[in-house]
Amino acid sequence: MGRRLVPLTLDNLPDIPNRCQSCVFWELDPVSGQAAVKAGTAALEKEGWISAVLLDWGSCGRVVYVDDVPVGFILYAPPAYVPRSTAFPTSPVSPDAVQLMTSFIMPGYQRQGLGRVMVQTVAKDLLRRGFKAIEAFGDAHAKEAACVLPADHLLAVGFKTVRQHPAYPRLRLELRTTLSWKEDVEMALDRLLGAVQKEPALRPL
């Protein structure tokens, strides 16, 4: 079974579920979101948001393929790009963290470790970009994936609760805890070699 995790772009946006392509729960504040849904412009707003974040900040998601079939995705961004985050009682997200907005895996591919693989891939991306953690708002009562991820799912992939709430706790994942010792050593060696690499000295003729 071949697995690929590809950065989310406007080109592969159609590979995420239809309902997610036009969902702007996180991307707009509650009033603007309702207006976009009512006007039928939610899909355009979603495209515009992804385009703007890609241009301004960089990669903000991954699409998962198994044997070239799209089976899931994950979406993340700094909280400044996520208007809905301020509406939660356990906000704000910490300044050293990126917000995990949402993720989804097709039912036939759940419970195969893809959720953890997605989180690890995002962690590697963000660690290289200088961030220390991922934070997310969890739904304490949800059992199935929705716009707000079930808190139990976040706990299962390594998040820890940093602010309790009966409905929407805020959870945090320290990025280094998601990397194995081997990967840590490899990254340290890459940085070390990059730091000491110099221009080759010219030999005298």
Q: Under a CB-based contact definition with an 8 Å cutoff, are residues 99 and 105 in contact? A: no
Residue 104 CB-density burial (10 A; 0-12 exposed, 13-18 middle, 19+ buried):
buried
Could you give the dihedral angle defined by the CA atoms of residues 139, 145, 147 and 151, in that order, rounded to the nearest 10 degrees? 20
Global pTM reads 0.84
Report the alpha-carbon angle 76-22-99, nearest 5.
15
pLDDT (tens digit per residue) in 61-80: 999 999 999 999 999 999 99
pLDDT (tens digit per residue) in 152-197: 999 988 999 999 999 999 999 999 876 654 455 555 555 655 554 4
pLDDT (tens digit per residue) in 130-151: 999 999 999 999 877 789 999 9
* Per-residue model confidence (pLDDT) at position 163: 97
Q: Under a CB-based contact definition with an 8 Å cutoff, are residues 136 and 149 in contact? A: yes
Q: In sequence order, what are the residues at sequence separation of 6 or more whose Cβ sits closer than 8 angstroms to the Cβ of residue 132? A: 96, 97, 174, 175
How many residues does the structure list for the chain? Answer: 205
64 three-class SS: strand
Residue located via tokens 């960089």: 58
Helix axes 30-39, 42-56, angle to 10 degrees: 130
* Per-residue model confidence (pLDDT) at position 45: 97
